[in-house]
Amino acid sequence: MPNCICGCEQPTKGGKFLPGHDQKLRAAIEKQVGGLEVLREIAEAHLGRKIVAKEASE
């Protein structure tokens, strides 16, 4: 069984995360970088384009 990639190192049932641990990792990343707005700036710099939420349904 693979271990959860959030950092808890507990075995999953085959997925990358234990239930809810994807949200825990997202929250931890946001906290470390200084918030969602900063995280977006970092991601935009990495991608070389803007990220907008209005196309999230596509």
Give contact residues for Zn ion (rule: CB under 5 A).
4, 6, 8, 18, 21
* Six-digit token string for 19: 């239930």
Nearer to Zn ion by Cβ, of 7 and 44: the residue is 7
Shortest gap between Cβ of 51 and Zn ion (angstroms)?
25
One-character DSSP codes across 13-42: SSSSS-TTHHHHHHHHHHHHHTSHHHHHHH
Nearer to Zn ion by Cβ, of 8 and 39: the residue is 8
Strand partners, 11: 3
Shortest gap between Cβ of 19 and Zn ion (angstroms)?
9
